[in-house]
Amino acid sequence: MKHFIITGTSRGIGESIAEQLISPDHYLHCISRVKNARLESKSNNITYYEFDLNQIDQIEALMNRIFNSIDLPRTEGIYLINNASMIAPVAFIDKVNVNDLTGNLKVNLLAPIILTSLFIQHTKYVESNKRILNISSSSAKHHHPGMSLYSAAKAGLDVFSQCVGLEQNHSNTPVGIVSIWPGMIDTNLQHEARSQDQSTFPSAELFGMAKDTGMLTTPEETAHLIIDFLFKIEFEHGSVVDIFDYSKLVQQ
């Protein structure tokens, strides 16, 4: 049995990844603030954890619950997909209150860091395949006024993934780790960005144009590429990967 711990499975990419991973040989541990009853009903091999990643002081207890339910010596593989993300607040930094600021960084950066640390601790002596995918964003490189928090968090996640990759090179049973840019996808995050008031978020028009001109991919298409990458034999450990570039290689 392969085990998958996936955050942000209530909708969007996370929901599509989880749905496409459903298999008699896969067990899914799904995490989101609101339970996805439709997803849960699709398989008996799903345990759902209704959990708000803002509660960073409770993540350790959550991971203990998950790993206590897994027979680690008998796993064929174990995988962590840090997908949960939030774009809000979309505003110039001097207009953001402290609670919204810290909430963004908790979900987008601190939570995946903590989950990664705990995953590595729990699987330290596991010899089967172990991999972590951190779902990042090209916003780490392509910047827009009003998205400083989101971009900073994703850039931090990329650097964190690269550094942990270097650390795992010193392990006898290393965990493979990659940060992935999933591209422009028609999700609630994109809708939220293009729905903003242009007076407070000047790039709202650009996000709207991306939708209107058909530049957005579907969550299902992106999830398929991400899963394909997750199982790659030549996993690009310690890298930051643009899934758009990967999809072009796959098509060649």
Q: List the catalytic residue out of 27, 48, 79, 150.
A: 150
Cα–Cα distances (Å) from 124 to 12, 119, 133, in that order, read: 31, 8, 17
Q: Say whether 150 is catalytic.
A: yes
CATH superfamily for 2-183+219-251 is: NAD(P)-binding Rossmann-like Domain (3.40.50.720)
Instruction: Work out the angle between the directed axes of helices 111-122 and 148-168 (0-180°, nearest 10).
Output: 20
Q: Please report, for the chain, the start and end positions of each structural domain, with discontinuous segments joined by +.
A: 2-183+219-251
Model-level pTM?
0.91
Q: Mind giving me the DSSP string for 123-187?
A: TTT--SEEEEEEE--GGGTS--TT-HHHHHHHHHHHHHHHHHHHHHTT-SSPPEEEEEE---B-S
Q: Are 97 and 44 in contact (CB under 8 A)?
A: no
Over the stretch 200-252, which tens digit does the pLDDT of each residue have? 665 555 554 545 555 567 889 999 999 999 999 889 899 999 987 756 555 54
Confidence of residue 29 (pLDDT cuts 50, 70, 90): very high
Q: Which of 102, 113, 116 is nearest to 175 (CA)?
A: 116
